[in-house]
Amino acid sequence: MTKLHELAKLRQSVWYDNISRSLLDSGELSALLDAGVVGVTSNPTIFQQAITGGTAYDPAIGRLAADGRSAQEIYEELAIADIQRTADLLRPLYDRTNRGDGYVSLEVNPGLAHDTAGTVAEARRLKGAVNRPNVMIKVPATPAGVPAIRMLTGEGINVNVTLIFGLTDYAAVADAYISGLEILAGKGGDLGAVASVASFFVSRVDTAVDAALASAGHTALQGCIAIANAKVAYARFNDLRRQPRWRALAQKGARVQRLLWASTGVKNPAYADTRYLDDLIGAETVNTVPPATLEAFLDHGSVRSTLTEGQDEAAAQLSRLAELGIDLASVTQTLQDEGVAAFAQSFEALIAGVRQKRDQLRSPS
């Protein structure tokens, strides 16, 4: 039994924040599933590194280039093939857990983050192209993304809501999911067939707030706010589950939209390398973990329910931060804006890298 199996007993799931063809071909992903990983997430940066950072995809790129495919078409075919293979590998988990886990996520084009209609159309298209029940389509929690989440949920599409940093955005996302389920229920849809996670980013909050605290000459709260923010979000998640509006949906078979802790790799070397797993353990949550952090946790992580510990202290820390003149809502909005821009840049670099490989591989030697 690994620490991941111990987490499962506490009703927390660990997903792997990485995907690549070599991971699939080598059997490494299968080994991770044996170790207790129960899902996979991807993003444009991960695909950029996988496709353009080596030669594993070159034979496929060469074949597609010979068929006259554009760089965008090549990327999509490569990514969808990887997502389909991963979904098939995870399918036994999905079936065994009655659709509780076994999901793989694919992100809409980040360039659509401020385009509701474009996001909805892209999500529908990607879901149809992958054609697997255990795929989640990643949609950002931007002002344009939130109504898209409601619409897609209302159509029975599984959504991984990404780039949540702040409590206000989380509240909007949770409401969009509940509203979408109400729409689906009104159409007689199967609520139990829909799953969603709200991906709450963690380590970048500490990075930004620590810098603001240092500039203000207050260091006592450094390294505290990301965990405090997450604990308050978890308290609100549990509050939502007690509301009559949610209970009415639950009676019809609806699944909770689990909080998923993302960006859990430690950015500050002064902090323990497993802190964003050790301190974020709670029932009905997911932690999506990058490779180095997963290895560290398996080796020396600590397993106990921690999300419900010190929730009053967490709220007090957020209050104290405001008293010091640091506007967490402003910080988290900036982080979301930067996250959208970073994923868009990664996507553009990915397409440019595929284009370069395509042109090289189809050029006469």
Q: CA angle at residue 85 from 81 to 88, to 5 degrees?
A: 140
Token readout for 119 is 């996001």
Between CA 88 and CA 169 the distance in angstroms is 33
Sorted by where each starts, the structural domains of the chain and their CATH numbers stand as 3-18+36-41+98-343 (3.20.20.70)
Give residue 99's Cα distance to chain centre.
17
Mean pLDDT over all residues of the chain?
A: 96
Between CA 49 and CA 296 the distance in angstroms is 22
CB contact at 8 A, 108 and 122: yes
Q: Which residues are catalytic?
A: 138
Give residue 81's Cα distance to chain centre.
20
What is the 3-state secondary structure of 193-225? HCCEEEEEECHHHHHHHHHHHHHHCCCCCCCCH
* pTM, two decimal places: 0.96
Tens digit of each residue's pLDDT (9 = 90 or more) over 55-65: 999 999 999 99
Amino acid at site 128: G
CB contact at 8 A, 165 and 226: no
pLDDT at residue 361, rounded to an integer: 87
Residues of the chain with pLDDT under 50: none
Q: What is the CA radius of gyration of the chain?
A: 20
Q: What contacts 2, CB < 8 A, 6 or more positions away?
A: 35, 36, 298
* Concatenated DSSP letters of 72-104: HHHHHHHHHHHHHHHHHHHHHHHHHTTTSS-EE
Tens digit of each residue's pLDDT (9 = 90 or more) over 66-113: 999 999 999 999 999 999 999 999 999 999 999 999 999 999 999 999
In order of 181, 193, 241, 258, the CA distances from 255 in angstroms are 10, 8, 10, 9
Q: Phi and psi at residue 187, in whole multiples of 5°?
A: -95, 0
Between CA 151 and CA 169 the distance in angstroms is 17
Cβ neighbourhood burial of 248 (10 Å; 0-12, 13-18, 19+): middle
